[in-house]
């Protein structure tokens, strides 16, 4: 019994270290996007909206404020457009802005050249991005 308790405590500590601290999370139907903070980087974890199975993918970046500013600056341009950002030597992220039902929304496309991972998030509103980055606490359903 004592060993089981120690194992559970160890697993909890390990998962907290590996997964990091959740900054924000957004759920759109069956798809989600979560921002996590680890020791010296942030991870954007999302369910791939192009996958037929519930596949989660992620990309990392070092400075949350820089990525947040790039994304929010994109919302200032009210038309369909794209912004490409090279997160590191192997990861390219495309922020795709599209007007849907009169509202500008963001879809994140991620391409990891090293392990050939390609994925696409669900569309996010400006308010959802603020919530994801911990700038606003809101409930979305």
Query: Going along 67-121, which residue ranges are E strands?
Result: 81-86, 91-100, 103-112, 117-120
Dihedral sign from CA coordinates of 128, 132, 133, 136: positive
According to CATH, the topology of domain 21-132 is Secreted effector protein pipB2 fold (3.30.2450)
What torsion, rounded to 10 degrees, do the Cα atoms 64, 25, 55, 73 define?
A: -40
Distance set, CA 80 to CA 96, 106, 110 (Å): 8, 10, 18
Residue 23 has pLDDT above 90, yes or no: yes
Residue of 11 and 89 predicted with greater confidence: 89
- Each domain of the chain, given as residue ranges in start order, spans 21-132
Q: Give pLDDT, residue 54.
A: 77
What 3-state DSSP class applies to 33? strand
Dihedral sign from CA coordinates of 10, 12, 36, 87: positive
Residue 12 has pLDDT above 50, yes or no: no
Q: Give pLDDT, residue 2.
A: 44
Q: Kind and range of the H or E element at 69?
A: helix 64-75
Bridge partners, residue 81, by sequence: 97
């Amino acid at each position: 019994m004592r060993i089981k308790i120690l194992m559970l405590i160890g697993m909890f500590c390990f998962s907290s270290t590996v997964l990091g601290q959740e900054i924000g999370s957004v759920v759109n139907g069956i798809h989600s996007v979560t921002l996590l903070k680890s020791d010296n980087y942030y991870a954007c974890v999302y369910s791939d909206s192009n996958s037929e199975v519930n596949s989660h993918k992620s990309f990392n970046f070092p400075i949350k404020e820089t990525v947040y500013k790039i994304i929010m600056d994109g919302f200032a341009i009210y038309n369909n457009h794209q912004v490409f950002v090279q997160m590191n030597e192997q990861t390219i992220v495309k922020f795709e802005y599209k007007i849907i039902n009169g509202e500008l929304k963001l879809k994140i496309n991620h391409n990891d050249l090293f392990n050939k991972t390609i994925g696409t998030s669900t569309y996010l509103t400006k308010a959802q991005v603020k919530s994801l980055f911990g700038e606003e606490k809101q409930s979305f359903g």
